[in-house]
């Protein structure tokens, strides 16, 4: 880019003002600039580090696909959280909400479609062997997945289905978290006790979930929408975007995920146990979980048939 002398002087003056305002000497910074290197792509995105983060536990080549795809998913979850975190800050701006919802649905659409990589992309013989080296770890322990849920809707909507309407389960945030669907779902098949996978998960993230749930009171995506003026709440584009997000997170993605469990773990006469120890056939099917972030945006019939189509 060509810059004439006047522009250069103007920019230098602006820079000088900036440094003066914070009590800094611009000349020293300019000298520093003389010695600093140009930025490279690989340093900027920490590519070398990123590509060292795939460390298989076995020598089956398909294990790398499993690790990489989980990492890709976690990065998409991080993209989602990046949007969700901004929403409470602009809670009265319906256009902003819509623009962020469009990003969220784009991310989840990519996640849902790419899940085919898990369903078709690994040899079952390899999967069934390398998974044994991963016990008792499970995608169940994805904290970002839960944070998306906690930011999307009040905890009441995330209770185990049977408890959702009951006032017994309601109460303090701690009480609500005790009855959250995932805490109830991860019980040992024989004893009904919490699985080791769940105990480890709660040990690491329990306090963080509690803090986040407290912080999100009245500020979840659903509550931000509910707090908008009636004219905004009736906007078709906004309602459609919310419904799409709800369907993607609570039906489309879980269905693809469920299909992967069926592909690898369904066996006659007896299914294979999940690494996280849940009754996965029952637990993972969206029609059993009946998780709905924004209940008022669905008809009674739609809610009844949740995840059945």
Residues 286, 295: Cα–Cα separation, whole Å:
15
Q: Of the candidates 215, 200, 213, which has an alpha carbon nearest to the alpha carbon of residue 174?
A: 213
The Cβ of residue 267 has, within 10 Å, a number of other Cβ atoms equal to: 10
Least Cβ distance, residue 76 to ligand HEM (angstroms): 9
Residues 127, 153: Cα–Cα separation, whole Å:
35
The span of 154-162, 229-237, 257-265, 299-307 binding ligand HEM (CB under 6 A) equals: 257-265
| Ramachandran class of 277: left when φ > 0, alpha when ψ lies in -120 to 50, beta otherwise | left
Residue 182 engages ligand HEM in binding (rule: CB under 6 A)? yes
Least Cβ distance, residue 291 to ligand HEM (angstroms): 8
Site size with ligand HEM, rule: CB under 6 A: 23
User: Residue 273 gets which letter from DSSP?
Assistant: P
Q: Contact at 8 Å (CB) between 179 and 169?
A: yes
Enumerate the β-bridge partners of residue 187: 194
Select 94 or 149, whichever has its Cβ closest to ligand HEM.
Answer: 149
Residue 264 engages ligand HEM in binding (rule: CB under 6 A)? yes
Residue 65 engages ligand HEM in binding (rule: CB under 6 A)? no
Residues 18, 135: Cα–Cα separation, whole Å:
55
Residues 80, 127: Cα–Cα separation, whole Å:
29
- Residue corresponding to tokens 């991080």: 78
Residue 73 engages ligand HEM in binding (rule: CB under 6 A)? yes
Q: Which two three-digit tokens encode residue 270?
A: 């007896």
Select 111 or 238, whichever has its Cβ closest to ligand HEM.
Answer: 111
Residue 201 engages ligand HEM in binding (rule: CB under 6 A)? no
Pick the binder of ligand HEM from 280, 293, 294, 306 (CB under 6 A): 280
CA distances from 305 to 136, 165, 286 (A): 33, 18, 10
Interface mask toward ligand HEM for 99-138; x: CB under 6 A: -------------------x-------------------x
Residue 69 engages ligand HEM in binding (rule: CB under 6 A)? yes
Least Cβ distance, residue 166 to ligand HEM (angstroms): 21
Residue 261 engages ligand HEM in binding (rule: CB under 6 A)? yes
Residues that bind ligand HEM (CB under 6 A): 69-70, 73, 118, 138-140, 142, 145, 182, 257, 260-261, 264-265, 274-278, 280, 283-284
């Amino acid at each position: 880019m060509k810059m004439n002398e006047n522009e250069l002087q103007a920019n230098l003056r602006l820079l000088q003002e900036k440094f003066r305002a914070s009590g800094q000497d611009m000349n020293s910074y300019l000298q520093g600039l003389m010695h600093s290197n140009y930025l490279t792509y690989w340093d900027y995105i920490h590519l070398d580090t990123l590509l060292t983060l795939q460390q298989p536990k076995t020598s089956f080549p398909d294990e790398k696909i499993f690790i990489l795809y989980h990492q890709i998913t976690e990065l998409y979850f991080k993209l989602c959280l990046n949007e969700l975190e901004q929403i409470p800050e602009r809670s009265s701006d319906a256009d902003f909400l819509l623009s962020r919802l469009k990003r969220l649905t784009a991310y989840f659409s990519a996640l849902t479609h790419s899940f085919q990589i898990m369903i078709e992309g690994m040899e079952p013989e390899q999967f069934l062997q390398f998974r044994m080296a991963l016990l008792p770890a499970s995608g169940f322990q994805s904290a970002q997945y839960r944070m998306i849920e906690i930011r999307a809707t009040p905890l009441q909507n995330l209770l185990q289905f049977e408890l959702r309407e009951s006032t017994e389960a309601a109460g303090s945030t701690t009480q609500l978290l005790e009855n959250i669907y995932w805490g109830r779902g991860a019980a040992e098949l024989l004893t009904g006790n919490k699985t080791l996978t769940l105990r480890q998960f709660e040990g690491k993230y329990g306090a963080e979930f509690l803090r986040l749930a407290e912080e999100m009171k009245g500020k979840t995506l659903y509550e931000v929408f509910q707090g908008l003026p009636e004219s905004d709440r009736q906007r078709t584009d906004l309602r459609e975007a919310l419904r799409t997000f709800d369907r993607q997170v609570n039906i489309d993605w879980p269905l693809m995920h469920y299909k992967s469990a069926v592909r690898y773990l369904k066996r006659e006469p007896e299914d294979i146990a999940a690494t996280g120890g849940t009754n996965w056939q029952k637990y993972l099917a969206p029609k059993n979980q009946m998780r709905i972030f924004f209940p008022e945006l669905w008809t009674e019939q739609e809610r009844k048939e949740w995840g059945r189509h």
